[in-house]
Structure 1
């Protein structure tokens, strides 16, 4: 199971080499093996007797971070969608993308994204999940911006990255709190501590952080704005990211943590409200669009809102319907994205105002679109899978759980009406998409290309998905107990027994479906009469404008702030760095009582030592007032030689010798460097600057002195020197403890230090030889 997660990344590494053969074999053929193999591996787990499977490999054991992977019904559902839709999208891309494209880049990004999504849905460790979560954001950024020569592609990629990474960081905060409170990083172990978490004071904060991550990733209102702009990606990317994978990562997150979060009534309130608003707003705005992919983008937003709302409802019917609709949405939305790509590929346009009458030119494509759009609309026909989950959605909206809050009672009364409202516009945009593209009178002559049917390779993937629509519609229980029931059980934490049937009589949900079809048909037929309402609602208001304004102001203020201190003045940079260290260190040490002074174990100080210290202090001050380069270097050398003398007095001859050598070499190097530098000039800084610099210098010196004294006075741990003294002769056979430490105890450090010095010496030798050769040639 672990291998399957990293298998796409392994193949991604070799794709650039395989891409060299793209003129003979399309690079997508090599990539196709990956999702197809993963799908065939995992499909064998489908069955009524399926039991969860777990696997663990140590990663960072010291931090309790393992590569924990867990396959249950929920993750199996997503793995099969990721690999199955991934295989179809890869096959579709072989015919959609020309060999002149940067295919190596495309398939590396695609496989990277596939691996990231597999990691998200299979991870049981929260920090591993987060790592893969952010990898989905990065890889989707690269996929959306694949055509980076287009300004809109770059804009859409950046918007998706900023919004989803913001949510990802919020989610990360929630995961950290969860791991601290439960003292585990395993999601399954966290679920077992549900009651303790629900009673924890930080639970509302945890839920907020996790839901922010889910809402941004799954394009829930008001974070949905990134999804329409992501349509600038190639159609295979749109079909993959926005039907089965990335946009459903947030859905997966809510579903995975539902056993914990659903214990709070506020989970029902927040998730249900956000989901139902997203459904209504997405479906309403889809009818306004004129680009085929824009219509599908807003339709995806509305469908994701419906699934999120059902997860918020939390009832048995709602949870089962959510799992069912995740599957159904992947089939009809994936096929419709591919149909939109075919229309664009074969006509050169996605503008629905220029299209029409394409049924004659693209009959197979139009037939596939018919099944996809009617299933998405929830038309009550037994061979359309979308109707079944839509019917369950209505049923769950009518039978919400009683709650103790007044808001809960209000929602129970309002949600069924909002569900019908959103579904009406879902029906309208579905009809608008199909009939506006394939029927009526189209201006074929104005299209960039003469329409004709797509090649078989582009038709096979959407056709397979449409076959899935029909089979699930005709035999819904075929996927019930062996597949969906396990997914629903993983979400709810209990075994669910739901029987899927087309006809239940004239029930309230069926009457709601008839209402949707009736009113939706009227709105579609008379669309031109009422579409002017969009000038009022939303009118000039747009969340995209808010995003653009925030981005512009952030860039403007950050630019002004950066220019305020990045002015090319080295002295200012040093002052800012030292001031920051001062504030942070003084504050931290002060609050933690880190400044300690203990003189009980100090040796007596003689007159000789005091005299040397005074000489060093005078020399240090002398460097400040010296106006001559050589004099300043010599005076500074006095400080170094003074330290060497102190080492001799304290009976550390090896340190004294080292200090003498270093000081001598340093003085010599300074003399060589200063020979080529201009003479010291008189300080022309203002009085204010001198005062500030003096204050910083004195404060920093005081800080370092206090830290040095405190580090000597604080005995938080047993000194390691005792270990070296006791074991130096036993382990290394040496009486000189310092030599043993350098050669044996930290021998590798010493070896690498010598290596660095050796490399530096070789570099200097090479420079000298080059200079000598240059002089000889001159």
Structure 2
């Protein structure tokens, strides 16, 4: 079953053909061809829903580097399926939306859709990969493709800045995650995620268990914009709205959520995991909602609301992991594990209402020319369909009925209230902070949802402040947000269809023990009677309305947070400081003087080699098996030494070149003594050509100016030369005296039988190393072409034509 592997590769394969389709069928919007990819993948993946709902999983593997335990292994279970359906389903709606949002006359569409398909394939690779290193490859591909998408409008400075910022932060976290993966695989003995989860009981006592956990969480937090790494997400809003709706609401930012959910069975029973994930999540939830209120740009408001909602999901995953701390799988422990179910439910809900809201903001921007709340207002009558979708999405995000966000928000309140009852982790003391912070963050969420609706669609219409005459979006642009808004309502009235076929299998992938024990028995309900959760919701509405009405009176509280101490200012300062210090350090050793560069290289090599040799005792000599040195070889070696030393005292370039040539010809004589006439002939040819090239090069060099080029310290040069020569000699003797393996020359002794060649050297070059030799010839060809081009360019610009024309 290679369907999943093919699903991962399909977007990459189709991306290869987009440039050709773009040119051949320029009359048609490229998006129509691309749309078929996610639609087809969604249909194929949806066909697995019944089987996965029955507890089946699908596994396939294509060998890649089997000797290293690295294979292109795909694994489809409930968790991977729910993410894949979001990737392809929302991807289909985003591409349909982009067809009407991006003009084929003004935009470079082939670039946009290539990047988008790259991202789609990379995300599918992340959620389906069973091999840690393959997962990491796709993980970084999401960072690269998102960088290209954010910088799509590269003529804008802020787009380039936002792309760079997201790349630096997410890739930094990704490198940390890679280190965590390597640690995890080292003590688990495998790269397979399934096998690691299967042996999870044997890891907790390992010394690398907690470091691996924290490094993996670093990758998850940076990708999912958790505090304090959230600062990249608002700047990424410079991307086109289809990118924001896809990457920054439904998919890329959910990659970190996926990673935490996938590794919860491995690390979830540890108190460190519980506290780190829960605290980072709840802080992100509050800070995102608090900061969203002060934004005047609609996409910036949605960016911080996304940060807040991601914090909510992360908090639920952290709280739900507490269920794994129970020794017995029963109804009590299952009671706490429902936070995981709530996290998965809100994951889907967030993708629907936030995707719709991003598209709404894109429509407002597209049809009015601005996203500035201060210039908007009164659009309800001008854009009634857009207003309706905005109300559904905003009130769902605020957690009001009859929208799906209400259901998962109530489950969130239940989870934070239950945490007070936990008998471990010292939650009895600090657990009360979770429901308090969660409630306050929800109040602020309600406030910024009111800002989005009332500041944009109510009040006085201000056409004089708009860049365009406001009007409703075309039908094609409304289809995608309307579908998402419809799902928001449908999931409220029929939540258990989603729960039974998608959420329960995904929950089973994160909490397999509870499914295996048969304790899962939960139905999503909108009404639970008059309880604490409902009272918290009523309090949110009441206090939220008061805060919104009195917003001008208390909004000044944001001025208490000095801009100099913001995380953005810290990031920018660190970036400028690193660049400045790097330039200072680079300018100190990049002097433009070749002598300095050679000096640094030789000193570093000498220091490393001699330090390692002396501290490890690696040097030892055994010359008992060496061949005797004849008098002729001794005389030849002495003549070579005298010739080499004479080069140092040469008074002219010509003398130095001739002495260097003599040295090369003496080496050829050594080959003759060693009965290798072919090597001797090769050496003679090379030495002759080299001498000719030296003479040609020196002919064009300017005359040596002794005043301009001061004499270098001869003592230092001599010491470095002697030390380098001694190092090479000692290493050669030591290596020859300590052979750890049999000589490879025995393999080539059968050259005639293996290759039909009577000359062993020719056999090595032409058969055994055929590809190596071919590539060396290609390198020489490329170098020759480069030299030829430079000569022709010099002649065409009035220089001396070396061909004499």
TM-score calculated relative to the size of structure 1: 0.94
Partner in structure 2 of residue 394 of structure 1: 413
1:465-509, CA deviations, whole angstroms, 9 ceiling, x for partnerless residues?
011011110011011111100111112233243210111122222
Q: Which residue of 151, 158, 162 corresponds with 2:157?
A: 151
Give the conservation status (yes or no) of the 8 Å contact 2:227–2:283: yes
Give the conservation status (yes or no) of the 8 Å contact 1:286–1:299: yes
Q: Which residue of 764, 778, 792 corresponds with 1:741?
A: 764
Partner in structure 2 of residue 102 of structure 1: 108
> SS of the counterpart of 1:399?
helix
1:517-542, CA deviations, whole angstroms, 9 ceiling, x for partnerless residues?
22222212221221111111466531
Give the conservation status (yes or no) of the 8 Å contact 1:167–1:212: yes
Partner in structure 2 of residue 456 of structure 1: 475
Partner in structure 2 of residue 37 of structure 1: 40
1:79-114, CA deviations, whole angstroms, 9 ceiling, x for partnerless residues?
110111111111111111122211111111111111
Residues 540-555 of structure 1 correspond to what in structure 2 (within 5 A)?
541-555=565-579
Q: CA 1:715 to 1:630, structure 2 compared with 1: closer, same or farther past 3 Å?
A: same
Partner Cα distance (2:624, 2:642) in 1: 28
Give the conservation status (yes or no) of the 8 Å contact 2:177–2:218: yes
Give the conservation status (yes or no) of the 8 Å contact 1:323–1:487: yes
Q: How many residues are aligned here?
A: 773
> Shift of residue 759 of structure 1?
8.7
Q: Which residue of 322, 332, 337 corresponds with 1:316?
A: 337
Between stretches 105-114 and 590-599, larger displacement belongs to 590-599
Partner in structure 2 of residue 232 of structure 1: 238
Q: CA 1:31 to 1:689, structure 2 compared with 1: closer, same or farther past 3 Å?
A: farther
Partner in structure 1 of residue 17 of structure 2: 14
> SS of the counterpart of 2:374?
coil
Partner in structure 2 of residue 54 of structure 1: 59
1:434-477, CA deviations, whole angstroms, 9 ceiling, x for partnerless residues?
12211122323322222211111111101100110111100110
> SS of the counterpart of 1:66?
strand
> Shift of residue 45 of structure 1?
1.5
Residues 44-83 of structure 1 correspond to what in structure 2 (within 5 A)?
44-47=47-50, 48-83=53-88
Give the conservation status (yes or no) of the 8 Å contact 2:249–2:306: yes
Give the conservation status (yes or no) of the 8 Å contact 1:164–1:213: yes
Partner Cα distance (2:71, 2:492) in 1: 41
Q: CA 1:592 to 1:511, structure 2 compared with 1: closer, same or farther past 3 Å?
A: farther
1:212-249, CA deviations, whole angstroms, 9 ceiling, x for partnerless residues?
11111100001110111111111111111111111111
Partner in structure 1 of residue 383 of structure 2: 362
Partner Cα distance (2:317, 2:442) in 1: 17
> Shift of residue 661 of structure 1?
3.4
Partner in structure 2 of residue 374 of structure 1: 395
Partner in structure 1 of residue 367 of structure 2: 346
Partner Cα distance (1:153, 1:72) in 2: 37
1:157-210, CA deviations, whole angstroms, 9 ceiling, x for partnerless residues?
111111111111111111122222222211111112212221110111111111
Partner in structure 2 of residue 199 of structure 1: 205
Partner Cα distance (2:44, 2:442) in 1: 37
Give the conservation status (yes or no) of the 8 Å contact 2:293–2:444: yes
1:102-144, CA deviations, whole angstroms, 9 ceiling, x for partnerless residues?
1111111111111111111111111111111111111111111
Give the conservation status (yes or no) of the 8 Å contact 2:71–2:131: yes
1:370-395, CA deviations, whole angstroms, 9 ceiling, x for partnerless residues?
1111110011x2x3100111111111
> Shift of residue 639 of structure 1?
2.4
Residues 67-146 of structure 1 correspond to what in structure 2 (within 5 A)?
67-99=72-104, 100-146=106-152
Between stretches 232-241 and 651-660, larger displacement belongs to 651-660
Give the conservation status (yes or no) of the 8 Å contact 2:657–2:694: yes
> Shift of residue 755 of structure 1?
7.2
Give the conservation status (yes or no) of the 8 Å contact 2:245–2:359: yes
Residues 527-606 of structure 1 correspond to what in structure 2 (within 5 A)?
527-537=551-561, 541-606=565-630
1:16-65, CA deviations, whole angstroms, 9 ceiling, x for partnerless residues?
22223676311111111111111111111123314111111112223221
> Shift of residue 618 of structure 1?
1.2
Give the conservation status (yes or no) of the 8 Å contact 1:73–1:488: yes
2:525 counterpart of 1:486: no
Between stretches 715-724 and 244-253, larger displacement belongs to 715-724
Q: CA 1:385 to 1:624, structure 2 compared with 1: closer, same or farther past 3 Å?
A: same
1:277-335, CA deviations, whole angstroms, 9 ceiling, x for partnerless residues?
00000001111111111110000000000001111112411100000000000000000
> Shift of residue 735 of structure 1?
6.0
2:351 counterpart of 1:330: yes
> SS of the counterpart of 2:432?
helix
> SS of the counterpart of 2:71?
strand
Q: CA 1:127 to 1:571, structure 2 compared with 1: closer, same or farther past 3 Å?
A: same
Q: CA 1:643 to 1:282, structure 2 compared with 1: closer, same or farther past 3 Å?
A: same
Partner in structure 1 of residue 445 of structure 2: 426
> SS of the counterpart of 2:287?
helix
> Shift of residue 512 of structure 1?
2.0
Q: CA 1:29 to 1:671, structure 2 compared with 1: closer, same or farther past 3 Å?
A: same
Give the conservation status (yes or no) of the 8 Å contact 1:354–1:446: yes
Q: CA 1:389 to 1:590, structure 2 compared with 1: closer, same or farther past 3 Å?
A: farther
Give the conservation status (yes or no) of the 8 Å contact 1:485–1:497: no
Q: CA 1:286 to 1:675, structure 2 compared with 1: closer, same or farther past 3 Å?
A: closer
Give the conservation status (yes or no) of the 8 Å contact 1:120–1:130: yes
Partner in structure 2 of residue 723 of structure 1: 747
> SS of the counterpart of 1:69?
strand
> Shift of residue 769 of structure 1?
13
Give the conservation status (yes or no) of the 8 Å contact 1:284–1:422: yes
Give the conservation status (yes or no) of the 8 Å contact 1:628–1:680: no
> SS of the counterpart of 1:55?
strand
Partner Cα distance (1:3, 1:647) in 2: 57
Partner Cα distance (1:432, 1:767) in 2: 64
RMSD of aligned Cα (Å): 2.7
> SS of the counterpart of 2:60?
strand
Partner in structure 1 of residue 640 of structure 2: 616
> SS of the counterpart of 1:198?
coil
> Shift of residue 569 of structure 1?
1.4
Q: CA 1:519 to 1:305, structure 2 compared with 1: closer, same or farther past 3 Å?
A: same
Partner in structure 1 of residue 719 of structure 2: 695
Partner Cα distance (1:623, 1:361) in 2: 88
- Unaligned 5+ segments in structure 1 are none
Partner Cα distance (2:634, 2:198) in 1: 67
Q: Which residue of 157, 172, 182 corresponds with 1:166?
A: 172
Give the conservation status (yes or no) of the 8 Å contact 1:265–1:403: no
> Shift of residue 710 of structure 1?
2.1
Q: CA 1:69 to 1:668, structure 2 compared with 1: closer, same or farther past 3 Å?
A: same
> SS of the counterpart of 2:47?
helix
> SS of the counterpart of 1:54?
strand
Partner in structure 2 of residue 441 of structure 1: 460
Between stretches 690-699 and 498-507, larger displacement belongs to 690-699
Partner Cα distance (1:650, 1:201) in 2: 57
Partner in structure 1 of residue 252 of structure 2: 246
